[in-house]
Structure 1
Amino acid sequence: MSSDQRLAPPGPHKARATTQSLQELGIQALPHPAYSPDLAPCDFWLFPIGKDRLAGRKFDRIQDLTKAVNSELQTIPEEDYQGMFRKWQIRLKCCIESHREYFEGL
């Protein structure tokens, strides 16, 4: 089994109609590792911030929760987002250097 086959499990992006459309448009689909929370900025950075900021609050309506989440997101400084992207690049580099093996310490 090639490394491309190991990296690309079946999914919507592998459907015949999708692959045909991509080919017709001249778009090359690249293999990628399976989903990993360690490499997803929302999982390793944004969700923990939201959980901390909204901890203990209760919402009766989804609209109230949505408003609170949006309000909290607006208060995160741009520099924090930039720092997150730098950390994300480090995590991606570690993943590549470890040949997609599990790594710790970030």
Structure 2
Amino acid sequence: MRARVLFHQDNAPAHKAAVAMAAIEEMEFELLEHPPYSPDLAPSDFYLLPRLKVHLRGNKFEDNSEVMAAVEAFLEGQDKEFFSKGIMGLEKRYTKCINLLGDYVEK
């Protein structure tokens, strides 16, 4: 039995392009709906990027390859629980958004 993969992305035009949607369908990912104009529901915005910013703060990079290496090291250094917390935060925010009748979770 194949594991079910839930895939989340916002509504950016590049994410909704035919080629992107075809790739998601080809991989048989289940696409989670993302309400329009809801950046507060993107795990990268509310969970991942703030922690990455803290990790990178104070560093001086000579070029883009150093930045990419630092980001890669950060991501590879996280355990399964780190990413699980971000996903669980998504569930809580979706619930709050529903309870607020679609209004922003964070104001």
Q: TM-score range by the shorter chain?
A: 0.5 to 0.7
User: Which TM-score applies when normalising by structure 2?
Assistant: 0.64
What's the RMSD between the two structures over aligned residues?
2.9
Pairwise mapping of residues 1-106 of structure 1 onto structure 2 (< 5 A)? 13=16, 32-104=34-106
Q: Which amino acid letter does the alignment assign opposite residue 64 of structure 2?
A: I
- Whether the aligned pair in 1 keeps the contact of 2:96 and 2:105 (CA below 8 Å) is yes
SS class of match (2:53): helix
Return 5+ residue gaps in structure 1 as ranges: 1-8, 23-30
User: Which TM-score applies when normalising by structure 1?
Assistant: 0.65
**Of Structure 1 and Structure 2, which has the larger fraction of its residues in strand?**
2
**Structure-2 change in CA distance of 1:86 and 1:56 (3 Å):** same
Over 6 Å off, 4+ runs: none
Task: For 1:59 and 1:74, locate their aligned partners in 2 and report how far apart those are by CA, in whole Å.
Answer: 19
Per the TM alignment, residue 60 of structure 1 is displaced from its structure 2 partner at its CA by 1.3
**Of Structure 1 and Structure 2, which has the larger fraction of its residues in helix?**
1
* Equivalent position of 1:26 in the other structure: none
- Whether the aligned pair in 1 keeps the contact of 2:93 and 2:105 (CA below 8 Å) is no
SS class of match (1:43): helix
Task: For 2:83 and 2:39, locate their aligned partners in 1 and report how far apart those are by CA, in whole Å.
Answer: 17
Return 5+ residue gaps in structure 2 as ranges: 1-10, 23-32
- Aligned-residue identity in percent: 34
Which of the pair has more CA radius of gyration?
Answer: 1
Q: Which amino acid letter does the alignment assign opposite residue 48 of structure 2?
A: L
